[in-house]
């Protein structure tokens, strides 16, 4: 299957960009990774960069496992590296991670934290990942989340709690579209608004830029970092755009 990709980010109202992302390709397989760092000063950016660097090293390793095992090992290796950085710098840090592995007829994804993956098909939302946040626990009726801040995460890479990445898979179909984003985006833009923007004339990159602008404008001076990766199945027979280098905005 041929894919078209778009990406972008905005610093929002924050002094530093702590989101990192990458789109990697190898012989028709693609790995999209987005990480939202947490920590004072530069430590959040270092944590999210660590996720991306680990993904790059593992994806281009000559001995890759089955995608589900690959994604699990990638998450756990990034987790261990961030913990090591915390000990080295004596400063707490962490990162979310959302990863999408695209093969010929199958998609696999893993996530830790509150960065999301949305799966759209035929102009409708099929699902999105569930956040590892206290808000999500409260919505499920879990009393553990009642005493904590609603935006607090109960699981992240580099965190003190056990890390158990959620990993899932689905068969691919025509008109599939996957959107990966940090919470600075999904907290401001609804799935219906995403679909509305995508229905308008324009390239996928144009729509991605407009969605990021909308999130940034709504967040105003208090806007969080915003990052967005989009993968759309190409219905026309043309070669997809290949991106092999890391992206950091």
Cα–Cα dist 62/51, whole Å = 19
Q: What does DSSP say about strands 93-95 and 116-121: parallel, antiparallel, or unpaired?
A: unpaired
pLDDT at 120: 98
Helix, strand, or coil (residue 202) = coil
Specify burial of residue 21 (Cβ count, 10 A radius: 0-12, 13-18, 19+): buried
What confidence score (pLDDT) does residue 242 get? Answer: 45
3-247 falls under which CATH superfamily?
PPM-type phosphatase domain (3.60.40.10)
Share of the chain above pLDDT 90, in %: 77
**pLDDT for the residue 138:** 81
What's the rounded Cα separation, in Å, for the pair 230 and 179? 5
User: Is residue 199 left, alpha or beta, with left meaning phi > 0 and alpha meaning psi from -120 to 50?
Assistant: alpha
Average pLDDT of the residues in 125-135: 95
**Alpha-carbon torsion (140, 117, 108, 101), positive or negative:** negative
The pLDDT value recorded for residue 244 is: 47
Q: At what angle do helices 204-219 and 191-198 cross, to 10 degrees?
A: 140
Task: Map out the domains of the chain as residue ranges.
Answer: 3-247
Distances (CA, A) of 143 to 114, 132, 135, 153, 161: 19, 15, 11, 15, 18
pLDDT value of position 145: 47
pTM: 0.91
Q: Give the pLDDT score at 72.
A: 98
* Higher pLDDT, residue 42 or 29: 29
Rounded Cα–Cα distance for residues 178 and 175 (Å): 10
């Amino acid at each position: 299957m041929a894919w078209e990709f778009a990406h972008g980010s905005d610093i929002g109202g924050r002094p530093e960009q702590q989101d990192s992302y990458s789109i990697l390709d190898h012989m028709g397989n693609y790995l999209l990774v987005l990480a939202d760092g947490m920590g004072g000063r530069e430590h959040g950016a270092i944590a999210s960069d660590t996720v991306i660097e680990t993904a790059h090293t593992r994806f281009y390793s000559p001995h890759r496992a089955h995608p589900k095992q690959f994604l699990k090992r990638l998450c756990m290796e990034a987790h261990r590296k961030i913990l090591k950085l915390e000990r080295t710098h004596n400063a707490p840090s962490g990162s979310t991670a959302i990863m999408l592995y695209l093969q010929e007829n199958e998609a696999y994804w893993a996530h830790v934290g509150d960065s999301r993956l949305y799966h759209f098909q035929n102009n409708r939302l099929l699902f999105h990942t569930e956040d590892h946040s206290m808000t999500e626990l409260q919505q499920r009726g879990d009393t553990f989340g009642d005493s904590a801040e609603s935006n607090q995460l109960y699981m992240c890479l580099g965190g003190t709690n056990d890390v158990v990445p959620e990993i899932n898979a689905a068969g691919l179909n025509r008109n599939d579209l996957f959107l990966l984003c940090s919470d600075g985006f999904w907290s401001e833009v609804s799935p219906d608004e995403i679909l509305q923007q995508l229905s308008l004339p324009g390239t996928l990159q144009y729509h991605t830029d407009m969605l990021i602008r909308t999130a940034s404008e709504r967040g105003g001076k208090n806007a969080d970092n915003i990052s967005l990766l989009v993968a759309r199945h190409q219905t026309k027979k043309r070669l997809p755009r290949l991106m092999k280098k890391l992206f950091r905005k």
